[in-house]
Amino acid sequence: MKLLTYIPIILLLAACSGQSNPQPENTESAEVNKVASETTEVNISNAWVRQPAPGQEIGAAYMTLNSPQNGKLVYAEAKGVAGSVEMHSMSMDNGVMKMRMLDALTLEANTPKELAPGGFHLMMFDLEKPLVAGEEVTFRLCFEDDNGTITHQNVTLPIKAE
Ligand SMILES: [Cu+2]
């Protein structure tokens, strides 16, 4: 699935603190041997939003994040769709599935971090419109690397009824 759309971030207002860091347009250089250039963009794949059950006022988004450097996802928002977005983990606790809100989602360099049903996810609260399969939701993600550099990326996720 190649439904991800990257939107230039430069025009967007900063929603979280720190300087914004314009991304190079093409992160896939043919020169693979170049030492980890200046590319800081996190590769986002397998991204989708689950269509909530009828009457459910929350939604969940999943994706795989692969960062070229150590860092973390510190903030996410879905303007016009969700009043707030939280990062959650999910785990079994005494036979009960429990969700926990995380301050950040740690990303190890070049190690895919999977957000998937039953595990990490982005939870959308205060939905401003129904999440309908076939439509899309654009998230704005805010990453911070271990040097404190903040970068923003927009990603558009298809809504699926799964
Ligand atoms: Cu959750």
d(CA 8, CA 73): 19
Q: Which token pair is 42?
A: 């996190």
Which CA distances in Å does 66 have to 23, 59, 129? Answer: 16, 23, 30
**Of 19-23, 36-40, 118-122, 154-158, minimum mean pLDDT range:** 19-23
Q: Which token pair is 152?
A: 């923003």
Determine the distance separating the centroid of ligand 1 and the alpha carbon of 63, expressed in angstroms: 14
Q: Which token pair is 123?
A: 């939870």
Mean pLDDT (whole number) for 14-34: 44
Determine the distance separating the centroid of ligand 1 and the alpha carbon of 85, expressed in angstroms: 9
Q: Which CATH superfamily is domain 43-160 in?
A: PCu(A)C copper chaperone (2.60.40.1890)
pLDDT of 10: 31
Strands (DSSP E) contained in 8-131 are 43-50, 59-66, 71-77, 82-93, 96-102, 105-107, 113-115, 121-127
Determine the distance separating the centroid of ligand 1 and the alpha carbon of 1, expressed in angstroms: 24
Determine the distance separating the centroid of ligand 1 and the alpha carbon of 120, expressed in angstroms: 8
pLDDT per position as a tens digit, 52-71: 988 888 999 999 999 999 99
Determine the distance separating the centroid of ligand 1 and the alpha carbon of 157, expressed in angstroms: 17
DSSP state of 49: E
pTM attached to this predicted model: 0.75
pLDDT per position as a tens digit, 76-133: 999 999 999 999 999 888 999 899 999 999 999 999 999 999 999 999 999 999 999 9
pLDDT of 54: 86
pLDDT of 11: 31
pLDDT of 2: 43
Positive or negative torsion for Cα 120, 121, 126, 131: negative
Give the H/E segment covering residue 157.
Answer: strand 150-160
**Of 1-15, 72-86, 99-113, 135-149, minimum mean pLDDT range:** 1-15
pLDDT of 162: 78
CB-neighbour burial class of residue 32 (10 A; exposed 0-12, middle 13-18, buried 19+)? exposed
Mean pLDDT (whole number) for 33-40: 53
Positive or negative torsion for Cα 15, 67, 6, 101: negative
What protein residues have CB closer than 5 angstroms to ion ligand 1?
88, 99, 123
Determine the distance separating the centroid of ligand 1 and the alpha carbon of 150, expressed in angstroms: 25
pLDDT of 145: 94
Average pLDDT, the chain: 83
